[in-house]
Amino acid sequence: MSQADNEADESFTHEKLLEAIENQLADGSPAAAQATLNKLTLVGYERADSLDLMAQVLAFHINQMLEQDAPFDLEGYEQSLRNLPDLPDKD
C-alpha cells in the first residue's frame, strides 16, 4: 500500500470516527459523550480538538474489541471519555 493510499485510508477512518461522535452527541447516547465535550470545552479545548480526542478514544475501544474478539465495552468507553484529556493506555 502506498503512503498516499495509507493517508487516504486514515483520513477516511478519522472522518467516520468523527461522524460517529457527532451522532452520539446528536442522539445523547452515551450521555458521557456530551458531558465530555462540555468538560473539554470548559477547560479550554476547541470543539474540533475535543472531537478529535473523543474519536481517538472510540478508535482505541473499537481496536480493543477487534483484537479481543469481544463485544464493544460501552462502560469502558464511557470511562475513557470521562478520563479525557488523558487518552487510554495502548497496552
Question: Tens digits of per-residue pLDDT, 24-42?
Answer: 999 999 999 999 999 999 9
What is the model's pLDDT at position 91? 52
Instruction: Check: CB of residue 41 under 8 Å from CB of residue 50.
Output: yes
Q: What per-residue confidence (pLDDT) applies to 90?
A: 64
Residue 9, phi then psi, degrees to nearest 5: -65, -45
- Please state the pTM of the whole predicted model: 0.88
Question: Which residues of the chain fall short of a pLDDT of 50?
Answer: none
Q: What pLDDT is recorded for position 85?
A: 96
Q: Is 71 exposed, middle or buried (0-12, 13-18, 19+ CB in 10 A)?
A: exposed
Domain ranges of the chain: 3-83
